[in-house]
Amino acid sequence: MFFFTEHWLRENQLISIYIEQFMFVSSFSRFSRNGGGSGIFVRNYLHNKDVDDLKRLGSENTFELSAVEH
């Protein structure tokens, strides 16, 4: 599993990222400004899922949040 911040990508750009043996599970992208963002990639064989309830706590320009649960 790995995490990244400040990716500067829009949601539609993130879905095109491919890293062999990893699955893109969770992300946060800004809509009104450039910059920022966070994301999480998880190994294909691990069973993780995006935590939407927790992600809703995120706020653009204040607290950008990506979350997964195992």
Distance of alpha carbon 37 from alpha carbon 47, whole angstroms: 23
Among 31, 44, 36, residue whose Cα is nearest residue 66:
36
Segment 23-61, tens digit of pLDDT:
989 988 888 888 899 999 999 998 888 887 877 788 887
Distance of alpha carbon 13 from alpha carbon 51, whole angstroms: 21
Distance of alpha carbon 26 from alpha carbon 52, whole angstroms: 9
Whole-model pTM: value is 0.80
